[in-house]
Amino acid sequence: MEAQRELELKGIGVSPGIVAGPVLLLKSDDVPLPEYAISAEGVPREMLRLEAALIETRRQLNEIQRRVGEAMGSESAGIFEAHLHVVDDPSFVDEIYRDVREKKKNIEKILFEVAERYAQTLLQMEDDYLRERATDIRDVTRRILRNLAGGGGDLLAGLESPRVLVSRNIAPSEMAAFDRRKILGVVTELGSPTSHTAIMARAMELPAIVGMPGICGRMADGDRVILDGVRGILVLHPSPSREEDYGRIARSRAVIQKRLSGLKEEEAVTRDGHAVVLSANIEMPADVDAVWERGARGIGLFRSEYLFMAEAGDPGEERQYKAYAEVARRIMPESVIIRTLDLGGDKIAVAGKIQEDANPFLGWRAIRLCLDRPAMFKAQLRAILRASAHNPKLRIMYPMISNVGEVDRANALLEECKAELSASGMAFNPAIEAGVMIEIPSAALTADLIAPKVKFFSIGTNDLVQYTLAVDRGNDRIAHLYEPTHPAVLQLIRHTVEAGRRHGIWTGVCGETAGNPVLVPLLLGLGVDELSTSPGAVPLVKDIIRHIRLSEAQDLAEAVRGLSTGAEILGRCRALVRRVAPEILELAE
């Protein structure tokens, strides 16, 4: 039989590793969705069916969380907190009950409709992490529907040898239930680096590629592939020479990874003695373990949104305080920066209803929403202040700042909260430091005006790039225009850092650029003081810091001043890394 032609396909590498083997196509595990009318008398029966399914779903999720925690640690188990929040969300259940009563339809149909409304709302979000929570809602909904229908089976039942799983999407609860011995790697049409499927793949140490639309239609069960989870490359029908090349690369990467694992206790210091604060970004308290395990020094960004999303609105002061205090205590003696709410009125219920926003990326969100809803904002500020009593290095950060007036108003509310807590005798750190995220060009350009009002800047490169270049990186047609090395972006970073130094405050970077070892020397050369990245990226970033001299990084930043394209600048960055630590490119690209 004639050999099939080799085909190289590109996606988004989200979990490192190289594997080769046959494909198993996982068909969509859609649950039948019956639709029929019910009488008014039948409404209580439908709600009883839902309650029974929710109880069983909660039991299953708790069991999955327990098993994942035992096998892979609390970072991975924490993923299922979001799933449990959906099951336990009273507003979600109330909305289902209301629709069943009003529309007189069976519970399966109404559950699906309400869940899809929630999912579609999340899909419109700007934040990648929160946008991916739509997958969690759909995952939980499928599980509830399966329980309404009497349960489901093992997707890998009968599989005799390990395969590369290829599917449109794989839910994290399905990933957790898979027998690791039967899986070589994972490829999906949907997903992003922040999806829970990607997180689970990394936790299970499964090479994975996501974001490959149409891939299921390009192959069949049993087709041989090579999966490169670093470069995001999938080779279909690989030639013998290609298999040999990838075998060599895999062996080389294994040696490098073993060395990186030994950097946990080492400091992030350049070869000429310049210390860099290398911290981690987290989503929820369960992620703190990963910060310590990866060798980060503190938390540079604690996103508080999950608490608000779980309640579809305001979680209240006490619930927030408990979460913030837990993180503050567990990260001691290191620091933690808590970002205030970075959602819009199109994502949470305000005054009992969802607020429509024609363009949520440029709309009523983050600090704008908080300043318009001072009672809700002050509850969060008080919760953060109270948590600061457990860690003197706890800091607060305002997102999406566009002008000085917003900082003044936020700081005034913070002072009001301090006065209220003092009057009530509650403990807090009166000297708590407040900073701002620089993610809108207007904030970067007026950094000299903002700096006297705050104690630090944290540059959110994800949004800064999008707002500066008018590029939605989630749009496949223009994603190639998303360039962190674009000269305009670098000028804004440089301007922010220099303004901070003139006013005696430090500047960090908490966007994805901070986790790219190829770009780290450039950031250090521009004068950035702190880098905060995902816990998994910490060892690689620490490694490149320890390989370079600050003087080399500064020379790089100066050399790219005169370059006119992002591609040229990226080329210079790669050249430096290739010269000082060529093995890092094996893992970074």
Last residue of a domain, one of 259, 283, 313: 259
> Element (H or E) spanning 396, and its range?
strand 394-398
pLDDT at 477 over 80: no
Q: Mark residue 191 as left, alpha or beta (left: phi above 0; alpha: psi -120 to 50; beta: remaining).
A: left
pLDDT tens for each residue of 55-87 = 888 888 887 777 666 555 555 556 666 677 777
- 286-290, 402-406, 556-560: which has the minimum mean pLDDT? 286-290
pLDDT at 518 over 90: yes
In a domain? residue 233: yes
pLDDT at 311 over 90: no
pLDDT of amino acid 354: 46
DSSP-based three-state secondary structure for 332: coil
Q: How high does pLDDT run on average in the chain?
A: 86
Query: What's 499's domain CATH number?
Result: 3.20.20.60
pTM: 0.71
Report how many helices (DSSP H) and strands (DSSP E) the chain contains, helices first: 25, 18
Last residue of a domain, one of 148, 173, 199: 148
C-alpha to C-alpha distances, 444 to 17, 448, 558, nearest whole angstrom: 38, 9, 20
pLDDT at 351 over 50: no
In a domain? residue 1: no
Are 392 and 253 members of one domain? no
Q: Which positions ≥6 away from 417 have C-beta within 8 Å?
A: 378, 381, 382, 385
Are 524 and 393 members of one domain? yes
Instruction: Please name which of 45, 412, 21, 11 lies closest in space to residue 213, comparing C-alpha atoms.
Output: 11
Q: Which residue has the higher pLDDT, 75 or 102?
A: 102
Q: Which positions ≥6 away from 391 have C-beta within 8 Å?
A: 328, 329, 331, 332, 335, 336
Are 274 and 249 members of one domain? no
Query: What's 95's domain CATH number?
Result: 1.10.274.10
Q: Mark residue 391 as left, alpha or beta (left: phi above 0; alpha: psi -120 to 50; beta: remaining).
A: beta
DSSP-based three-state secondary structure for 47: helix
Long-range (24+ apart) CB contacts under 8 A made by 405-414 are 406/367, 406/368, 406/371, 407/436, 407/450, 407/453, 407/454, 408/453, 409/371, 410/340, 410/367, 410/370, 410/371, 410/377, 410/434, 411/453, 413/371, 413/374, 413/377, 413/378, 413/381, 414/381, 414/385
Active site residue 237: no
In a domain? residue 395: yes
Q: Which residue has the higher pLDDT, 150 or 140?
A: 140
Instruction: Tell me whether strands 18-25 and 224-228 are parallel, antiparallel or unpaired.
Output: antiparallel
From the candidates 196, 390, 486, 495, which is the catalytic residue? 196
From the candidates 216, 370, 417, 510, which is the catalytic residue? 510
Are 472 and 543 members of one domain? yes
C-alpha to C-alpha distances, 525 to 309, 549, 550, 573, 585, nearest whole angstrom: 38, 10, 7, 11, 19
Query: Average pLDDT of 370-397?
Result: 97
Are 465 and 353 members of one domain? yes
Active site residue 510: yes
In a domain? residue 350: yes
Instruction: Tell me whether strands 530-533 and 277-282 are parallel, antiparallel or unpaired.
Output: parallel
Contact yes or no for 270/550 (Cβ under 8 A): yes
DSSP-based three-state secondary structure for 44: helix
Q: What are phi and psi of 296, to 5 degrees?
A: -80, 160
Are 302 and 428 members of one domain? yes
**Secondary structure of 167-181 as H, E, C letters:** ECCCCHHHHHHCCHH
pLDDT at 583 over 60: yes
Strands of the 12-15 sheet, one edge to the other: 7-10, 233-236, 224-228, 18-25, 163-167, 183-188, 208-210, 12-15
Omega cis (within 30) before 16: no
pLDDT of amino acid 476: 57
In a domain? residue 34: no
Are 438 and 351 members of one domain? yes
Query: Which residue range forms the structural domain that includes residue 57?
Result: 40-148
In a domain? residue 216: yes
pLDDT tens for each residue of 218-263 = 988 899 999 998 888 999 999 999 998 888 888 887 787 788 888 8
CA–CA separation, 312 and 349 (whole Å): 6
pLDDT of amino acid 349: 47
Are 185 and 139 members of one domain? no
Are 121 and 176 members of one domain? no
Query: Average pLDDT of 415-440?
Result: 97
Instruction: Please name which of 509, 526, 504 lies closest in space to residue 573, comparing C-alpha atoms.
Output: 526
- Number of C-alpha atoms within 13 angstroms, CB side, residue 130? 24
* Token pair 């209220």 in the structure block, residue: 420
pLDDT of amino acid 86: 75
Are 422 and 467 members of one domain? yes
Reported as a pLDDT band with limits 50, 70 and 90, residue 510 is very high
Last residue of a domain, one of 131, 148, 165: 148
pLDDT of amino acid 335: 97
Q: CA-based diameter of the chain, in Å?
A: 84
Query: What's 186's domain CATH number?
Result: 3.50.30.10
Query: How many CB atoms sit inside 10 A of residue 565's CB?
Result: 12
Strongest mean pLDDT among 94-103, 297-306, 408-417: 408-417
Reported as a pLDDT band with limits 50, 70 and 90, residue 145 is confident
CA–CA separation, 541 and 516 (whole Å): 7
Are 432 and 538 members of one domain? yes
Q: What are phi and psi of 206, to 5 degrees?
A: -105, 120
How many Å separate Cα 216 from the centre of its chain? 26
DSSP-based three-state secondary structure for 431: coil
Q: Which residue has the higher pLDDT, 89 or 396?
A: 396
pLDDT of amino acid 394: 98
pLDDT of amino acid 559: 96
Q: Which residues pair with 25 in a beta bridge?
A: 166
Count of structural domains within the chain: 3
CA dihedral angle for residue 576, residue 482, residue 191, residue 13, rounded to 10 degrees? -20
In a domain? residue 476: yes
Each residue of 199-221: b (16+ CB within 10 Å) or e? Answer: bbbbbbebbbbbbbeebbeebee
Query: Average pLDDT of 297-312?
Result: 80
In a domain? residue 30: no
Are 277 and 197 members of one domain? no
DSSP-based three-state secondary structure for 509: strand
